[in-house]
Structure 1
Amino acid sequence: MNAALPDISLTDIAPRLSPLAWVGMQGIDLPVTVVESAYQRTLHARADVQVDLPSPQVKGIHMSRLYQLLDTLGQDEALSPASLRYLLQAMINSHQDCDTGNARLGLNMALLVQRPALVTQGLSGWKSYPVRIDASLIRDRFTCRVQVTVGYSSTCPCSAALSRQIIEHSFLAAFDQQSPVKPADVAAWLHQHATMATPHSQRSEALVAVDVTDAAETLGILALIDHIEQAVGTPVQTAVKRVDEQAFAALNGQNLMFVEDAARRIEAALTDYANPSVHVRHLESLHPHDAVAWAVPMRDGVSA
């Protein structure tokens, strides 16, 4: 067959003449390369791409053009604000016959990072960090927002205080009539009774998003993750031996935190970032529900 194939997106008129804010595709699989400092890895990403359709008489956009342009994102160079802006501009340019002026892109992926054990030399494991990147070019204004999810452990300060009180009262009851108290007797008592009450702790997560300018050389994903983990002090571990588990228990004991404490700690660690937002969630072991907190930028005394 040598006949030209029909393209009704060009030849047919939309049944209802109205502009559309966004049109495109979601969940496109593609490889992307992330290079940051010593980290370099090709990751599986899922992309959402859309352009605006301001011309009411145009029936539909050219999906295949967006798909082909998106395929270039994983080729030849690593992800960066500059490469994202270039792609968005190319998406707009490819749809001039639709009077398109805006484009946006979303990427979901998981950054796989090797983390060492706390104490044991030569022991390490892999940790996966969910990442979301949202970039847009709207009326020639480029925006890029990077969101990461970081897991950590949280031990309840209230529960710790209540546990200490039980141990304190039990200790006084055991040694009230003994004078002087021998250190060896105290050590023996603690060995048997120090865990008669233990504070509850739980796996927790921080969802953090920041803006990245198009002048930045990289997206700064790994650096952002490191800032968050250092702020909470108790990131979840990968490979552990008993000595590492003991060290992690000590970290939790020295970093008691309510959900409010965690949100404030992380927010304080992000002073060098633009427009940071923090959402923390403690998956309670005491309750069947979660404890949550948000920290977002303030504008004129009101949360943005």
Structure 2
Amino acid sequence: MSASLPDVASQTHSSLYLDQVGMAGIPLQLIFDDQPVQARATLTVDLDRQQRGIHMSRLYLGLAEALGQASLTPAGLVAAAEQLLATQGSGSQQLSLTLEWEQLRLVPALLSPHQGWQAYPMRITVAHQAGQTELVEQIRLLYSSTCPCSAALSRDALAEALEADFAHQPLVAREDIRHWIQAHGSLATPHSQRSQATLSWRRAAEQAKAWQLIDHLQRAEQTLATPVQTAVKRTDEQAFALRNGANQMFCEDAARRLTQMMEEDSQWLEAHIQVAHFESLHAHDAIASRWLSRRATPRPWLMTF
């Protein structure tokens, strides 16, 4: 084998500039929040018009070396991005690195002594451009939503049935009402559905002293009040039904709640909230979103799973 193999990628090649060249779907083992996770990475750089190709193997090998050992931190990810960009020499001035995985959390039941694992999709992107580095964090969570309109119509139907059955009784005993509700209380049931919220926020690298993914996830579940459950017994199921009854919401309500939650955080430059209610009444989904910016010159952006 020749001692000096040709480097075709470095050949001078006067052509068009490219915004992104790289690799997608790279398997990678990370440590996040003291937990090993199996991630997928997408890593790209821009390419000068004078250079034919990027040095892809340098990116691949450098990625595993930079992120495969210590726990993932904002400072560590930014340093890794700078090191990876440097491997490309003068041919590239921009870099984007996205990491995606499912974070497992052990979730206790509402009342019973049981628990189960819940998987939360997460995504982190570090982008280095024009000498500036920014981080985008994103979480996705599932929750239950009960339709307020459907609940009101169900109550109306139940009230009419109650009035019809006791129309000829001037006085009704409390016990009779209790028995009637137990027998007819599900005459008309409001519809509820599994729902999904996706929250994304962008920060300047110097603002990101620690990740906000777990904190925002917990706050979002508290804000929505009805995150989906894992292990349940009948007591847990009844408690969950009570929560749904007390937290009826349209997708618009959920989006507004999460917007108010995000506005309480002072660090982000831009944020995006998106909710989807996977309807049980309709064959289509109900969706709502809100984009927020604190930049003097807003830069609209959307990041979804």
Question: Given residue 72 of structure 1, which amino acid in structure 2 is its aligned partner?
Answer: E
Structure 2: distance between partners of 1:18 and 1:161: 61
Residue 70 of structure 1 contacts residue 87 of structure 1 at CA under 8 Å; is this kept in 2?
yes
1:221 matches 2:213: yes
SS in 1 for 2:276: strand
Q: Structure 2: how far apart are the matches of 1:210 and 1:69?
A: 27
Residues 60-95 of structure 1 deviation map (CA, whole Å, 9 limit, x = unaligned): 111011111110243332212211110111122111
What's 1:295 paired with? 290
Residue number in structure 2 paired with 1:195:
186
Q: What is the DSSP-based 3-state SS (H/G/I as helix, E as strand, rest coil) of the residue aligned with 1:136?
A: strand
From 14, 36, 40, the equivalent of 1:46 is 40
Cα pair distance change 1:125/1:133, threshold 3 Å: same
Q: 1:73-124 CA deviation, whole Å, 9 max, x = no partner?
A: 43332212211110111122111142x2211101111111110000012x10
**Once the 2 structures are TM-superposed, how far is the Cα of residue 2 of structure 1 from its aligned partner?**
4.7
SS in 2 for 1:296: strand
Instruction: Provide the residue aligned with 2:275 in structure 1.
Output: 280
In 2, the alpha carbon distance for the partners of 1:298 and 1:221 equals 19
Code of the residue aligned with 2:169 in structure 1: it is Q
Q: Output the CA distance in 2 between the equivalents of 1:75 and 1:148.
A: 22
Does 2:47 correspond to 1:59? no
Which amino acid in the other structure matches residue 103 of structure 2? Answer: L
**Residues 9 and 60 in structure 1, CA contact (< 8 A), matched pair in contact too:** yes
User: Offset of 1:263 from its aligned partner?
Assistant: 0.4
Q: How does 1:86-235 map to 2 (within 5 A)?
A: 86-98=79-91, 100-121=92-113, 123-214=114-205, 215-235=207-227
| Separation in structure 2 between the aligned mates of residue 3 and residue 48 of structure 1, nearest angstrom | 32
1:255 aligns with 2:250: no
Q: Give the superposition deviation at 1:17.
A: 1.8
Letter in 1 for 2:117: W
TM-score (norm: length of structure 1): 0.92
SS of equivalent to 1:270: helix
> Mind listing any 5+ residue stretches in structure 1 that lack a counterpart?
none
1:231-274 Cα deviation digits (max 9, x unpaired): 11100000001100010000000000001001001111112332
Letter aligned with residue 42 of structure 1: P
Q: Determine if contact 1:79/1:219 at 8 Å carries over to the other structure.
A: no
The answer (yes or no) to whether the contact 1:32–1:73 under 8 Å persists in 2 is no
Separation of aligned partners in 1, 2:32 and 2:2: 44
Q: Does 1:28 align with 2:26?
A: yes
Q: Give 2:12's aligned residue.
A: 13
The amino acid of 2:37's aligned partner reads L
1:269 match: secondary structure: helix
CA contact (8 A) 1:297 1:303 kept: no
SS in 1 for 2:256: helix
C-alpha distance in 1 between matches for 2:175 and 2:242: 23
Matching residue's letter, 2:153: L
Is the 1:204–1:283 Cα contact (8 Å) retained in structure 2? yes
- 1:34-53 residue CA offsets vs partner (Å, 9 max, x unmatched): 12xxxx20101100111111
Q: Deviations over 1:99-158 (max 9, x none)?
A: x2211101111111110000012x100011111111111111111111111100000000
Q: In structure 1, how many angstroms separate the alpha carbons of the residues matched to 2:130 and 2:90?
A: 17
Aligned CA RMSD, in angstroms, stands at 1.8
The answer (yes or no) to whether the contact 2:271–2:293 under 8 Å persists in 1 is no
Structure 1 position 175, deviation (Å): 1.4
**Alpha-carbon distance in 2 for matches of 1:298, 1:209:** 12
Question: Which structure 2 residue ranges, 5 or more long, are not aligned?
Answer: 301-305
**2:137–2:201: 8 Å Cα contact kept in structure 1?**
yes
The partner residue of 1:74 within 67, 70, 80 is 67
**Cα displacement (A) at 1:182:** 0.3
The letter of the residue matching 1:190 is I
Counterpart of 1:297 in 2: which secondary structure? strand
Three-state SS of the structure 1 residue aligned to 2:263 is: coil
* Separation in structure 2 between the aligned mates of residue 96 and residue 103 of structure 1, nearest angstrom: 12
Q: Tell me the amino acid that sits aligned with residue 233 of structure 2.
A: K
Contact 1:49/1:105, CA 8 A, preserved across alignment: yes
